[in-house]
Structure formats: C-alpha cells, structure tokens
Amino acid sequence: MSLTPEQLAEIEEQRAITAPTRRAVSPGMEERLYTAHPVLDHGLVRVIDYMGDDAAICQAARVSYGRGTKAVSDDRGLIRYLMRHWHSTPFEMCEVKFHVKLPVFVARQWIRHRTANVNEYSARYSILDREFYIPAPDALAAQSTVNNQGRGEVLEGAEAQRVLDLLREDAMRSYDHYEDMLTPDAEAGKLGLARELARMNLPANIYTQWYWKIDLHNLFHFLRLRADHHAQYEIRVYAETMCDITRDWVPAAYEAFEDYRLGGQNLSGKAVEVLKRRLAGEEVTQESSGMSKGEWREFMGVWG
C-alpha cells in the first residue's frame, strides 16, 4: 500500500481529534476510524464515518424511545432472531462510509452491488497515479476446466514469470503513453490531450479510489457473496478486511451474520426432502433425488 507522508500525517491528524457526542458510539469502530488497512499491493480500506451500533438495531426493532431498556443478552437474542428470520429493516438503521482504493477491474465487479452510495475519483479532473495491481506469483492461475468463472492450477516457473513480465511491461508502457498524451509541447505546437480522453488507454489493473457508503443489511449481503471462498481472490481480500472491521463495529450482529449467513446453508425443498429420507435410512441417489447433477454435486459437497 502506498501512502505519502502527507497522507499519513493527515490520517494521524484526523485520528487525534475527538469530540463529545450524544450519538451512539461503537468503541471498536472508534478505534478503526480513519486507519488505512492495506489490501493487495497498493490498495486500502479505511472507515471514514459510521452511524449506529448493535443497540441501534434493537432500538429500531422495538421502536423504543431510549437505549438500555433491555439487557445485553436480550439484545443479542433479538439480533439473532432478526438474522435467523431474515428481517432486514432493523439492520438498515446502521450505516458505514468506507474509503477504498482498488484496481479498476475489481471496482467494476464491486459496483454491481447497487445498494450503496458511491463517489469515485475522477480521471476527467485529476491525473491517475502510476500504480497498478501486479498479482503475487501464487495468485496466478490457469482457467478452471470445470468453472467458467474460476481459476484452476497455479502457474509456475517460466510461465508465471512471463505473465508477470507482460503485466508490468504493458502497464508501464500504457502509463508512459498516458503521460505523453497529457503533456503539452509549446515548441511542437502540441496542446496536450484532454484528461478525459487520455485515460482511455489505461489498463484495468490501474488503481482507482472511491467513497462507498452502505447500510448494514446491504453490507452483510455484499460480504456474504464476496467473502465466500468461491469469490474472486482480488475482491475477497477486500471483503475479508471489511469483515474484520464490521466485527469490531457491531459484534453481536456480526456474530449472528457469521453463524446464519457465512456459516449457514440454505436448503431447497428437494434438499429438505432428501435429508428427511436419508435420516429415515433410505439410500438416495442423484437420479432418485429429483435434483440436477449440479445441485446434487453441491448438496453432496456440504452434506456428504
């Protein structure tokens, strides 16, 4: 992660400022505020602001007029009930605003989650930094032969080095040309290309930045999909960092999320029937289950 001395000083200045408040405060999130957590080679995640805590979820569910009317154990039980029964609006009462620095190709995957407020760094007005995501060697893999969206075996030796060399050479060459197009040359009568046009030759592994504000319900949905081991590695590491932050922010809600969403399984009607038949001692095959081959494979991967 690349932060300039000026940026680091700005973060320390922000973290040094405190103020009295009547707002709900999460001690764990207070420790996270403004801190830049490194992700990938040049990326980061940091919390800019937040609203609410575990008690705010319960307050919204009860529509109560104050805090502290129930014991913490009661709050935990209520939060688990809400999560277990897929109640969403109480979790929407909490919000968080992240500053994220990420490769453009990750951003294009991330932006498919359309339940957040986003403001991205504009290359029409500013010049992008010479920072590109170059994978670690163990993150280079061939195309999976069984999953059109996934990776297969890790590349090794000369093949892996060739890929890394191509990525670096292409990135540096495109940025050199980007700078050339931006630079005016009075002697040659060149005005310099507009920034909004010069950016179009930059590769998808260049870094961008945005502010991303989302409520807790939709954040949990994002994390359930992107922190899953099936998710693409480059977005998964961001989600895992955000999981750690969210655990500190709303520990009771995150515990319920981890139990019922990350660690839980949804069953189709056919899957429930198959489990009942197996518990009754019946031997069930894919042919007699009523499931497709893909669904049966996934079912057996969990239940054996």
Give me the residue spans of the domains in the chain: 5-132+206-262, 134-204, 269-303
Is 70 exceeded by the pLDDT of residue 66? Answer: no
Residue 266: CB atoms within 10 Å = 6
Quick one: 73 exposed, middle or buried, by C-beta within 10 A (0-12, 13-18, 19+)? exposed
Q: What angle do CA 204, 210, 213 make, to 5 degrees?
A: 135
- Looking at residue 138, what is its pLDDT? 85
- Looking at residue 146, what is its pLDDT? 63
* Better-scored residue on pLDDT, 97 or 63: 97
Residue in the structure block whose two tokens are 């919390």: 47
At 71, is the pLDDT very low, low, confident or very high (cuts 50, 70, 90)? low
* Most confident range, picked from 70-74, 126-130, 146-150: 126-130
Catalogue the active-site residues: 226
At 65, is the pLDDT very low, low, confident or very high (cuts 50, 70, 90)? low
- Looking at residue 111, what is its pLDDT? 96
- pLDDT per position as a tens digit, 256-276: 999 999 988 888 999 999 999
Say if domain 5-132+206-262 classifies as CATH 3.30.1360.170.
yes
Backbone dihedral region of 237: left (phi > 0), alpha (psi from -120 to 50 degrees) or beta?
alpha
Q: What is the mean pLDDT of residues 63-71?
A: 62
Strands (E), 22-115: 37-39, 43-51, 95-103
Is 80 exceeded by the pLDDT of residue 290? Answer: yes
- Alpha carbons 77 and 84: distance in angstroms, whole number: 10
Is 60 exceeded by the pLDDT of residue 251? Answer: yes
